[in-house]
């Protein structure tokens, strides 16, 4: 094969590559978006988990005789703070997802989505921890009064595993 033939063959390969590259780049960005979308979805769902944990458990705590009114007020403000922080993460996430300008690279966007996912996960874990700690206070107070069954009935089976 002549050198000219080799160059022509290479140029043909380059042409095919260039045509295919647009397709593969488009596909790659879709895959990144799909990965982002999954993390975005999971992050939003975690905010739902946090809200559900708060609503479900605080409703029970309101009927729990082992808490004083001022303690319930403090617990409510703890939950409110956790929800506010989690909502802040969601706001940041929405800004990134809704960006239409080219000023942000895919890598930057994905890094922020990852960070928001990790932060929301941390807030969900903190909410569970906060809830379990508060229930444990009730359980320990009930134990002193030999009334643990009422706490177990209120918060559900497996409630005793927190202590």
> Is residue 26 domain-resident?
no
Share of the chain above pLDDT 70, in %: 81
Q: What pLDDT is stored for residue 124 in this prediction? A: 96
Q: Is residue 84 part of a domain?
A: yes
Task: Say if 139 falls within a structural domain.
Answer: yes
Taking only the tens place, the pLDDT of each residue in 40-90 is: 888 888 888 888 889 889 989 989 999 999 999 899 989 989 988 998 998
Q: What angle do CA 118, 87, 80 make, to 5 degrees?
A: 110
107 assigned to some structural domain = yes
Please check whether residue 52 lies inside any domain of the structure: yes
CA–CA dist 53, 155 (Å, integer): 12
* Tens-place pLDDT, residues 106-120: 788 888 889 999 999
| CA distance readout (Å), 101 to 85, 106, 109 | 27, 12, 12
Asked if residue 135 belongs to a domain, the reply is yes
Question: Is there a domain that residue 33 lies in?
Answer: no
**What is the domain range of residue 142?**
39-162
CA distance 33 to 28: 9
Going by pLDDT thresholds of 50, 70 and 90, the confidence category of residue 30 is low
Q: How many domains does the chain have?
A: 1
Instruction: Name the least confident of 16-30, 99-113, 118-132.
Output: 16-30
In this structure, the number of other CB atoms found within 10 A of the CB of residue 151 comes to 24
Name the residue with tokens 């706490």.
151
User: What does the block give as tokens for 19?
Assistant: 């045509």
Q: Is residue 19 part of a domain?
A: no
Q: How far apart are CA 61 and CA 72, in angstroms?
A: 7
């Amino acid at each position: 094969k002549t050198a000219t033939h080799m160059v022509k063959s290479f140029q043909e390969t380059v042409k095919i590559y260039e045509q295919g590259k647009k397709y593969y780049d488009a596909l790659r960005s879709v895959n990144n978006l799909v990965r982002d979308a999954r993390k975005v979805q999971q992050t939003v769902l975690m905010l739902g988990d946090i809200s559900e944990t708060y609503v479900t458990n605080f409703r029970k705590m309101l009927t729990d005789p082992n808490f004083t009114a001022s303690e319930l007020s403090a617990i409510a403000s703890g939950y409110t703070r956790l929800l506010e922080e989690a909502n802040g993460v969601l706001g940041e996430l929405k800004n990134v997802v809704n960006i239409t300008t080219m000023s942000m690279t895919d890598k930057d966007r994905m890094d922020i989505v990852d960070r928001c996912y990790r932060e929301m996960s941390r807030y969900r874990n903190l909410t569970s921890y906060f809830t379990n700690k508060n229930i444990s206070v009730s359980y320990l107070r009930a134990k002193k009064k030999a009334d643990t069954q009422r706490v177990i009935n209120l918060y559900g089976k497996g409630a005793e595993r927190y202590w």
